[in-house]
Amino acid sequence: MRIVQVNVTAATGSHGVIAEEIGKLAILKGWESWIAFGRRARESRSELIRIGSNKDIIWHGVESRLFDRHGLASRSATRKLVKQLEEIKPDLVHLHNIHGYFLNYPILFDYLKRSGVRVIWTLHDCWPLTGHCAHFMGVGCDKWKSGCGECQLKGAYPSGIFIDRSRKNWVRKREVFGSLGDRLTLVACCEGIAKYYREAMPQTRLEVIHNGVDLMTYRPLGITKRKMILGVASVWPPSKGLGEFIKLRKMLPKDWEIELVGLSERQISSLPEGINGRGRTQNVGELVELYNQAAVFVNPTFEDSFPTVNLEALACGTPVVTYRTGGSPEAVDELTGVVVDRGDVKGLIEGITRAERLRPEDCRARAEARFNKDDCFRKYIELYENQYSDGDVESRGYDSVND
Protein backbone atom coordinates (compact mmCIF):
# COMPACT_ATOMS: atom_id res chain seq x y z
CA MET A 1 0.00 0.00 0.00
CA ARG A 2 1.17 3.53 -0.74
CA ILE A 3 0.43 6.06 2.02
CA VAL A 4 0.88 9.84 1.74
CA GLN A 5 0.38 12.02 4.80
CA VAL A 6 -0.10 15.77 4.38
CA ASN A 7 0.75 17.94 7.38
CA VAL A 8 1.83 21.49 8.14
CA THR A 9 5.06 20.22 9.68
CA ALA A 10 7.30 17.18 9.53
CA ALA A 11 9.24 18.35 12.57
CA THR A 12 8.74 18.17 16.32
CA GLY A 13 5.41 18.98 17.87
CA SER A 14 2.42 16.69 18.22
CA HIS A 15 1.34 16.86 14.56
CA GLY A 16 4.77 16.02 13.22
CA VAL A 17 5.35 13.26 15.76
CA ILE A 18 2.02 11.61 14.92
CA ALA A 19 2.76 11.63 11.18
CA GLU A 20 6.26 10.24 11.71
CA GLU A 21 5.15 7.45 14.04
CA ILE A 22 2.37 6.39 11.67
CA GLY A 23 4.87 6.38 8.81
CA LYS A 24 7.21 4.11 10.77
CA LEU A 25 4.43 1.63 11.48
CA ALA A 26 3.36 1.68 7.82
CA ILE A 27 6.92 0.90 6.72
CA LEU A 28 7.08 -1.98 9.20
CA LYS A 29 3.98 -3.35 7.47
CA GLY A 30 5.88 -3.32 4.20
CA TRP A 31 4.01 -0.32 2.83
CA GLU A 32 5.48 2.75 1.14
CA SER A 33 5.20 5.99 3.10
CA TRP A 34 5.54 9.67 2.17
CA ILE A 35 5.03 12.76 4.32
CA ALA A 36 4.24 16.01 2.47
CA PHE A 37 4.83 19.03 4.71
CA GLY A 38 4.81 22.80 4.67
CA ARG A 39 7.67 23.70 6.99
CA ARG A 40 10.36 22.38 9.34
CA ALA A 41 11.68 19.07 8.08
CA ARG A 42 13.08 16.40 10.33
CA GLU A 43 14.89 13.14 9.83
CA SER A 44 12.29 10.63 8.77
CA ARG A 45 11.86 7.01 7.81
CA SER A 46 9.30 8.18 5.27
CA GLU A 47 10.07 9.93 2.00
CA LEU A 48 9.65 13.69 2.53
CA ILE A 49 7.98 16.13 0.14
CA ARG A 50 8.32 19.86 0.83
CA ILE A 51 5.21 21.79 -0.24
CA GLY A 52 6.26 25.18 -1.60
CA SER A 53 8.97 27.40 -0.18
CA ASN A 54 9.47 30.02 2.51
CA LYS A 55 8.50 32.69 -0.03
CA ASP A 56 5.24 30.84 -0.70
CA ILE A 57 4.50 30.80 3.03
CA ILE A 58 5.18 34.53 3.32
CA TRP A 59 2.86 35.36 0.41
CA HIS A 60 0.19 33.06 1.81
CA GLY A 61 0.45 35.03 5.04
CA VAL A 62 -0.01 38.29 3.12
CA GLU A 63 -3.18 37.01 1.41
CA SER A 64 -4.48 35.76 4.76
CA ARG A 65 -3.87 39.00 6.59
CA LEU A 66 -5.04 41.41 3.90
CA PHE A 67 -7.87 39.48 2.27
CA ASP A 68 -8.84 36.75 4.79
CA ARG A 69 -7.97 34.06 2.24
CA HIS A 70 -6.26 31.53 4.48
CA GLY A 71 -6.03 28.19 2.68
CA LEU A 72 -6.71 29.79 -0.70
CA ALA A 73 -3.17 30.94 -1.59
CA SER A 74 -0.21 28.60 -2.34
CA ARG A 75 -1.75 27.76 -5.71
CA SER A 76 1.46 26.89 -7.59
CA ALA A 77 2.87 24.98 -4.62
CA THR A 78 -0.27 22.89 -4.31
CA ARG A 79 -0.46 22.18 -8.05
CA LYS A 80 3.11 20.91 -7.84
CA LEU A 81 2.12 18.68 -4.93
CA VAL A 82 -0.80 17.31 -6.96
CA LYS A 83 1.55 16.39 -9.80
CA GLN A 84 3.75 14.53 -7.32
CA LEU A 85 0.72 12.72 -5.92
CA GLU A 86 -0.34 11.74 -9.43
CA GLU A 87 3.10 10.20 -9.95
CA ILE A 88 3.03 8.35 -6.62
CA LYS A 89 -0.57 7.12 -7.12
CA PRO A 90 -1.25 6.69 -3.40
CA ASP A 91 -3.76 4.15 -2.17
CA LEU A 92 -4.60 6.37 0.79
CA VAL A 93 -4.03 10.03 1.65
CA HIS A 94 -3.97 10.95 5.33
CA LEU A 95 -4.51 14.64 6.06
CA HIS A 96 -3.46 16.17 9.34
CA ASN A 97 -3.26 19.94 9.87
CA ILE A 98 -3.66 21.45 6.38
CA HIS A 99 -3.82 25.07 7.50
CA GLY A 100 -0.70 27.05 8.32
CA TYR A 101 0.05 29.21 5.26
CA PHE A 102 1.28 26.40 2.99
CA LEU A 103 -1.58 24.71 1.13
CA ASN A 104 -4.52 25.52 -1.17
CA TYR A 105 -7.33 23.27 0.04
CA PRO A 106 -9.69 23.56 -3.01
CA ILE A 107 -6.89 22.46 -5.37
CA LEU A 108 -5.94 19.55 -3.11
CA PHE A 109 -9.55 18.39 -2.67
CA ASP A 110 -10.19 18.64 -6.40
CA TYR A 111 -7.38 16.11 -6.88
CA LEU A 112 -8.68 13.90 -4.05
CA LYS A 113 -12.14 13.90 -5.62
CA ARG A 114 -10.88 13.15 -9.15
CA SER A 115 -8.42 10.46 -8.10
CA GLY A 116 -10.89 8.31 -6.20
CA VAL A 117 -8.35 7.82 -3.42
CA ARG A 118 -9.54 7.12 0.10
CA VAL A 119 -8.88 9.92 2.60
CA ILE A 120 -8.36 9.91 6.37
CA TRP A 121 -8.38 13.34 8.01
CA THR A 122 -7.12 13.76 11.58
CA LEU A 123 -8.73 16.83 13.13
CA HIS A 124 -6.56 18.71 15.62
CA ASP A 125 -8.79 21.80 15.88
CA CYS A 126 -11.96 23.38 14.44
CA TRP A 127 -10.55 25.35 11.50
CA PRO A 128 -12.28 23.15 8.88
CA LEU A 129 -15.65 24.06 10.43
CA THR A 130 -15.31 27.84 10.52
CA GLY A 131 -14.92 30.77 8.19
CA HIS A 132 -11.80 31.92 9.96
CA CYS A 133 -10.69 30.69 13.39
CA ALA A 134 -9.19 27.43 14.63
CA HIS A 135 -10.87 27.61 18.05
CA PHE A 136 -14.12 29.32 18.99
CA MET A 137 -14.81 27.84 22.43
CA GLY A 138 -12.90 30.58 24.26
CA VAL A 139 -15.43 33.22 23.20
CA GLY A 140 -18.44 30.90 23.03
CA CYS A 141 -19.15 31.65 19.37
CA ASP A 142 -21.57 29.33 17.56
CA LYS A 143 -21.74 31.02 14.16
CA TRP A 144 -19.99 27.97 12.69
CA LYS A 145 -23.30 26.13 12.98
CA SER A 146 -25.25 28.30 10.55
CA GLY A 147 -22.73 30.44 8.72
CA CYS A 148 -19.93 32.73 9.86
CA GLY A 149 -19.75 36.47 9.27
CA GLU A 150 -18.75 39.62 11.14
CA CYS A 151 -16.07 37.50 12.79
CA GLN A 152 -15.18 38.54 16.33
CA LEU A 153 -11.98 36.51 16.04
CA LYS A 154 -10.67 38.08 12.84
CA GLY A 155 -7.53 39.14 14.68
CA ALA A 156 -6.89 35.63 15.99
CA TYR A 157 -4.95 33.00 14.05
CA PRO A 158 -4.98 33.05 11.07
CA SER A 159 -4.91 36.77 11.70
CA GLY A 160 -6.72 39.15 9.33
CA ILE A 161 -6.39 42.92 9.24
CA PHE A 162 -8.88 44.45 6.84
CA ILE A 163 -11.37 42.25 4.99
CA ASP A 164 -13.75 39.88 6.76
CA ARG A 165 -14.35 37.03 4.33
CA SER A 166 -15.52 34.57 6.98
CA ARG A 167 -18.99 34.03 5.48
CA LYS A 168 -17.60 33.17 2.03
CA ASN A 169 -14.90 31.00 3.58
CA TRP A 170 -17.50 29.07 5.58
CA VAL A 171 -19.58 28.36 2.47
CA ARG A 172 -16.50 27.36 0.45
CA LYS A 173 -15.25 24.95 3.10
CA ARG A 174 -18.64 23.25 3.43
CA GLU A 175 -18.73 22.76 -0.33
CA VAL A 176 -15.14 21.54 -0.71
CA PHE A 177 -14.84 19.37 2.39
CA GLY A 178 -18.16 17.69 1.72
CA SER A 179 -17.21 16.71 -1.84
CA LEU A 180 -15.57 13.34 -1.10
CA GLY A 181 -18.66 11.49 0.11
CA ASP A 182 -18.03 8.13 1.77
CA ARG A 183 -14.37 8.09 0.73
CA LEU A 184 -13.60 10.49 3.60
CA THR A 185 -13.18 9.33 7.19
CA LEU A 186 -12.69 11.92 9.90
CA VAL A 187 -10.59 11.16 12.98
CA ALA A 188 -10.94 13.50 15.94
CA CYS A 189 -8.15 13.59 18.51
CA CYS A 190 -10.72 13.75 21.31
CA GLU A 191 -14.45 13.63 22.03
CA GLY A 192 -14.36 17.34 22.83
CA ILE A 193 -13.57 18.08 19.17
CA ALA A 194 -15.59 15.18 17.75
CA LYS A 195 -18.90 16.57 19.01
CA TYR A 196 -18.59 19.65 16.79
CA TYR A 197 -17.89 17.61 13.67
CA ARG A 198 -20.72 15.19 14.40
CA GLU A 199 -23.08 18.15 14.43
CA ALA A 200 -21.64 19.88 11.34
CA MET A 201 -20.94 16.78 9.21
CA PRO A 202 -23.39 14.10 10.44
CA GLN A 203 -23.18 12.05 7.22
CA THR A 204 -19.40 11.64 7.39
CA ARG A 205 -17.86 8.70 9.21
CA LEU A 206 -15.99 9.84 12.29
CA GLU A 207 -13.65 7.99 14.65
CA VAL A 208 -11.91 9.18 17.82
CA ILE A 209 -8.24 8.28 18.31
CA HIS A 210 -6.50 10.00 21.21
CA ASN A 211 -2.96 11.23 20.87
CA GLY A 212 -0.35 9.26 22.76
CA VAL A 213 3.04 9.84 24.36
CA ASP A 214 6.33 7.98 24.52
CA LEU A 215 6.17 6.16 27.83
CA MET A 216 9.87 5.30 27.68
CA THR A 217 10.76 8.99 27.60
CA TYR A 218 8.05 10.38 29.88
CA ARG A 219 8.32 8.18 32.96
CA PRO A 220 8.66 8.36 36.75
CA LEU A 221 12.23 9.00 37.87
CA GLY A 222 11.77 8.07 41.52
CA ILE A 223 12.63 11.54 42.77
CA THR A 224 10.92 13.33 45.63
CA LYS A 225 8.14 15.69 44.62
CA ARG A 226 8.28 19.32 45.65
CA LYS A 227 5.36 21.53 46.65
CA MET A 228 5.44 22.85 43.11
CA ILE A 229 2.79 23.60 40.49
CA LEU A 230 3.96 23.19 36.91
CA GLY A 231 2.55 24.67 33.71
CA VAL A 232 3.91 23.87 30.24
CA ALA A 233 3.05 25.15 26.76
CA SER A 234 4.94 25.65 23.51
CA VAL A 235 3.69 29.26 23.45
CA TRP A 236 1.57 31.21 25.91
CA PRO A 237 -1.12 33.33 24.24
CA PRO A 238 -3.85 34.59 26.62
CA SER A 239 -6.00 31.54 25.84
CA LYS A 240 -3.42 29.23 27.43
CA GLY A 241 -4.11 30.73 30.84
CA LEU A 242 -0.98 32.62 31.82
CA GLY A 243 -3.20 35.16 33.55
CA GLU A 244 -4.75 32.37 35.62
CA PHE A 245 -1.35 31.47 37.06
CA ILE A 246 -0.83 35.10 38.06
CA LYS A 247 -4.20 35.04 39.85
CA LEU A 248 -3.24 31.74 41.47
CA ARG A 249 -0.02 33.21 42.78
CA LYS A 250 -1.96 35.90 44.65
CA MET A 251 -4.31 33.35 46.23
CA LEU A 252 -2.03 30.37 46.96
CA PRO A 253 -0.05 29.96 50.21
CA LYS A 254 3.53 31.13 49.85
CA ASP A 255 4.94 27.65 50.37
CA TRP A 256 3.71 26.67 46.89
CA GLU A 257 6.14 27.20 44.02
CA ILE A 258 4.91 27.90 40.47
CA GLU A 259 7.12 26.94 37.53
CA LEU A 260 6.11 27.82 33.94
CA VAL A 261 7.83 26.52 30.81
CA GLY A 262 7.62 27.91 27.27
CA LEU A 263 7.40 31.64 27.99
CA SER A 264 8.86 34.40 25.85
CA GLU A 265 11.55 36.66 27.29
CA ARG A 266 9.02 39.46 27.55
CA GLN A 267 6.58 37.27 29.46
CA ILE A 268 9.33 36.08 31.80
CA SER A 269 10.38 39.65 32.58
CA SER A 270 6.81 40.62 33.47
CA LEU A 271 6.13 37.74 35.90
CA PRO A 272 5.31 38.66 39.50
CA GLU A 273 7.46 37.48 42.36
CA GLY A 274 6.81 33.86 43.22
CA ILE A 275 6.51 32.54 39.65
CA ASN A 276 9.60 31.13 38.01
CA GLY A 277 9.45 31.27 34.20
CA ARG A 278 11.69 29.75 31.59
CA GLY A 279 11.67 29.58 27.80
CA ARG A 280 10.73 26.64 25.63
CA THR A 281 13.19 23.83 26.23
CA GLN A 282 14.52 21.41 23.63
CA ASN A 283 15.97 19.30 26.44
CA VAL A 284 13.35 16.60 26.98
CA GLY A 285 15.25 15.22 29.95
CA GLU A 286 14.99 18.58 31.71
CA LEU A 287 11.23 18.69 31.04
CA VAL A 288 10.74 15.12 32.32
CA GLU A 289 12.57 16.05 35.52
CA LEU A 290 10.26 19.04 36.02
CA TYR A 291 7.18 16.86 35.51
CA ASN A 292 8.56 14.48 38.14
CA GLN A 293 9.35 17.23 40.63
CA ALA A 294 5.90 18.82 40.41
CA ALA A 295 3.24 17.85 42.91
CA VAL A 296 0.52 18.97 40.50
CA PHE A 297 0.38 19.88 36.81
CA VAL A 298 -2.08 22.71 36.12
CA ASN A 299 -3.50 23.45 32.67
CA PRO A 300 -5.94 26.40 32.82
CA THR A 301 -6.45 26.55 29.04
CA PHE A 302 -9.52 28.37 27.70
CA GLU A 303 -9.44 26.80 24.22
CA ASP A 304 -7.66 23.63 23.21
CA SER A 305 -8.05 20.25 21.57
CA PHE A 306 -6.33 17.41 23.42
CA PRO A 307 -3.21 18.82 25.10
CA THR A 308 -0.28 16.41 25.02
CA VAL A 309 1.23 18.09 28.09
CA ASN A 310 -1.52 16.54 30.25
CA LEU A 311 -0.49 13.09 29.05
CA GLU A 312 3.21 13.79 29.60
CA ALA A 313 2.49 14.80 33.20
CA LEU A 314 0.44 11.67 33.88
CA ALA A 315 3.13 9.46 32.35
CA CYS A 316 5.61 10.99 34.82
CA GLY A 317 3.27 10.23 37.72
CA THR A 318 1.93 13.76 38.21
CA PRO A 319 -1.81 14.47 38.62
CA VAL A 320 -3.46 17.08 36.40
CA VAL A 321 -5.82 19.94 37.20
CA THR A 322 -7.40 21.37 34.07
CA TYR A 323 -10.18 23.64 32.93
CA ARG A 324 -13.16 22.00 31.25
CA THR A 325 -11.94 22.84 27.74
CA GLY A 326 -12.12 20.77 24.56
CA GLY A 327 -10.68 17.30 25.14
CA SER A 328 -8.46 18.32 28.07
CA PRO A 329 -10.76 16.68 30.69
CA GLU A 330 -10.54 13.36 28.81
CA ALA A 331 -6.96 12.88 29.99
CA VAL A 332 -7.94 12.29 33.62
CA ASP A 333 -10.35 10.41 35.85
CA GLU A 334 -11.14 10.76 39.56
CA LEU A 335 -7.92 8.95 40.50
CA THR A 336 -5.60 11.06 38.35
CA GLY A 337 -6.86 14.62 38.21
CA VAL A 338 -9.49 17.30 38.73
CA VAL A 339 -11.57 19.15 36.13
CA VAL A 340 -12.66 22.72 36.87
CA ASP A 341 -14.99 25.08 35.00
CA ARG A 342 -13.18 27.66 32.91
CA GLY A 343 -12.28 30.82 34.77
CA ASP A 344 -12.90 29.33 38.22
CA VAL A 345 -9.59 30.15 39.92
CA LYS A 346 -10.93 29.22 43.35
CA GLY A 347 -11.87 25.88 41.83
CA LEU A 348 -8.28 25.50 40.64
CA ILE A 349 -7.03 25.99 44.19
CA GLU A 350 -9.48 23.41 45.53
CA GLY A 351 -8.47 21.09 42.70
CA ILE A 352 -4.78 21.50 43.52
CA THR A 353 -5.47 20.58 47.13
CA ARG A 354 -7.35 17.44 46.04
CA ALA A 355 -4.86 16.49 43.33
CA GLU A 356 -1.91 16.75 45.71
CA ARG A 357 -3.31 13.70 47.52
CA LEU A 358 -3.63 11.53 44.39
CA ARG A 359 -1.21 8.67 43.90
CA PRO A 360 1.55 8.94 41.28
CA GLU A 361 1.21 5.23 40.47
CA ASP A 362 -2.43 5.73 39.44
CA CYS A 363 -1.41 8.56 37.10
CA ARG A 364 1.24 6.38 35.47
CA ALA A 365 -1.19 3.47 35.19
CA ARG A 366 -3.73 5.61 33.34
CA ALA A 367 -1.07 6.78 30.90
CA GLU A 368 -0.01 3.19 30.27
CA ALA A 369 -3.57 1.98 29.78
CA ARG A 370 -4.92 4.83 27.64
CA PHE A 371 -2.15 6.93 26.10
CA ASN A 372 0.73 4.70 25.05
CA LYS A 373 1.76 6.15 21.70
CA ASP A 374 2.35 2.73 20.18
CA ASP A 375 -1.20 1.65 20.96
CA CYS A 376 -2.70 4.96 19.81
CA PHE A 377 -0.83 5.14 16.49
CA ARG A 378 -1.45 1.45 15.79
CA LYS A 379 -5.15 2.28 15.69
CA TYR A 380 -4.45 4.34 12.56
CA ILE A 381 -2.91 1.33 10.84
CA GLU A 382 -5.98 -0.71 11.79
CA LEU A 383 -8.16 2.06 10.38
CA TYR A 384 -6.17 2.03 7.14
CA GLU A 385 -6.68 -1.71 6.81
CA ASN A 386 -10.38 -1.52 7.64
CA GLN A 387 -10.94 1.28 5.16
CA TYR A 388 -9.17 -0.44 2.33
CA SER A 389 -10.05 -3.63 0.48
CA ASP A 390 -8.44 -5.65 -2.30
CA GLY A 391 -11.24 -4.63 -4.62
CA ASP A 392 -10.44 -0.97 -4.15
CA VAL A 393 -6.81 -1.57 -5.07
CA GLU A 394 -7.70 -3.52 -8.19
CA SER A 395 -10.16 -0.86 -9.31
CA ARG A 396 -7.39 1.74 -9.14
CA GLY A 397 -4.92 -0.32 -11.14
CA TYR A 398 -2.78 -1.93 -8.44
CA ASP A 399 -2.06 -5.63 -7.98
CA SER A 400 -2.44 -5.95 -4.23
CA VAL A 401 -2.62 -4.02 -0.97
CA ASN A 402 1.10 -4.53 -0.48
CA ASP A 403 2.00 -3.29 -3.98
If asked whether residues 186 and 249 sit together in one domain, one would say no
If asked whether residues 160 and 261 sit together in one domain, one would say no
pLDDT band at 187 (very low <50, low <70, confident <90, very high): very high
For residue 50, list its beta bridge partners: 37
If asked whether residues 120 and 43 sit together in one domain, one would say yes
If asked whether residues 128 and 182 sit together in one domain, one would say yes
Give the model's pLDDT for residue 202: 94
For residue 298, list its beta bridge partners: 321
Per-residue pLDDT for 403 more than 50? no
Per-residue pLDDT for 394 more than 60? no
Which tens digits make up the pLDDT trace of 246-267?
A: 999 999 999 999 999 999 999 9
In terms of phi and psi (left: phi > 0; alpha: psi -120 to 50; beta: otherwise), the region of 326 is left
In terms of phi and psi (left: phi > 0; alpha: psi -120 to 50; beta: otherwise), the region of 74 is left
If asked whether residues 316 and 388 sit together in one domain, one would say no
How far lies 199's CA from each of 144, 186, 208, 243, 329, in Å? 10, 13, 15, 32, 20
Mean per-residue pLDDT of the chain: 93
> Does residue 400 belong to any structural domain of this protein?
no
If asked whether residues 143 and 251 sit together in one domain, one would say no
> Does residue 403 belong to any structural domain of this protein?
no
Per-residue pLDDT for 390 more than 80? no
pLDDT band at 340 (very low <50, low <70, confident <90, very high): very high
> Does residue 244 belong to any structural domain of this protein?
yes
What is the DSSP code string of 141-171?
Answer: --GGGT---S-TTTTSSS--SS---HHHHHH
Query: What does the alpha-carbon distance between residue 348 and residue 335 come to, in Å, rounded to a whole number?
Result: 17
> Does residue 264 belong to any structural domain of this protein?
yes
Which tens digits make up the pLDDT trace of 67-86?
A: 999 999 999 999 999 999 99
Give the model's pLDDT for residue 397: 37
> What is the phi/psi pair of residue 295, to 5°?
-75, -35
Give the model's pLDDT for residue 9: 86
Query: What does the alpha-carbon distance between residue 193 and residue 172 come to, in Å, rounded to a whole number?
Result: 21
Please give the helix or strand (H or E) that residue 250 lies within, else none.
helix 242-251
Instruction: Decide if 104 contacts 78 (C-beta within 8 A).
Output: yes
> Does residue 155 belong to any structural domain of this protein?
yes
Which tens digits make up the pLDDT trace of 119-165?
A: 999 999 999 999 999 999 889 999 999 999 999 999 889 999 889 99
Give the model's pLDDT for residue 400: 31
If asked whether residues 245 and 166 sit together in one domain, one would say no
Which tens digits make up the pLDDT trace of 216-235?
A: 999 999 999 999 999 999 99
Give the model's pLDDT for residue 216: 97
Q: Of the candidates 31, 19, 22, which has an alpha carbon nearest to the alpha carbon of residue 388? A: 31
* Percent with pLDDT over 90 in the chain: 88
> Does residue 42 belong to any structural domain of this protein?
yes
> Does residue 220 belong to any structural domain of this protein?
no
> Does residue 217 belong to any structural domain of this protein?
no
> What is the phi/psi pair of residue 282, to 5°?
-95, 0
Give the model's pLDDT for residue 300: 97
Do β-strands 92-95 and 2-9 pair in parallel, antiparallel, or remain unpaired? parallel
Domain that holds residue 48: 2-212+373-395
Look at 394 and 247; give whichever has higher pLDDT: 247
If asked whether residues 180 and 256 sit together in one domain, one would say no
Per-residue pLDDT for 35 more than 70? yes
pLDDT band at 12 (very low <50, low <70, confident <90, very high): low
In terms of phi and psi (left: phi > 0; alpha: psi -120 to 50; beta: otherwise), the region of 274 is left
Instruction: Report the residue count for the chain.
Output: 403
CA 118, 121, 126, 132 dihedral sign is: negative
If asked whether residues 14 and 116 sit together in one domain, one would say yes
If asked whether residues 378 and 363 sit together in one domain, one would say no
Domain count, the chain: 2
If asked whether residues 190 and 256 sit together in one domain, one would say no
If asked whether residues 191 and 307 sit together in one domain, one would say no
Give the residue-averaged pLDDT of 282-299: 96
Query: What does the alpha-carbon distance between residue 109 and residue 183 come to, in Å, rounded to a whole number?
Result: 12
Burial class (CB in 10 A: 0-12, 13-18, 19+), 116: exposed
Give the model's pLDDT for residue 299: 98
| CATH number of the domain within which 202 lies | 3.40.50.2000
Query: What does the alpha-carbon distance between residue 63 and residue 18 come to, in Å, rounded to a whole number?
Result: 29
pLDDT band at 393 (very low <50, low <70, confident <90, very high): very low
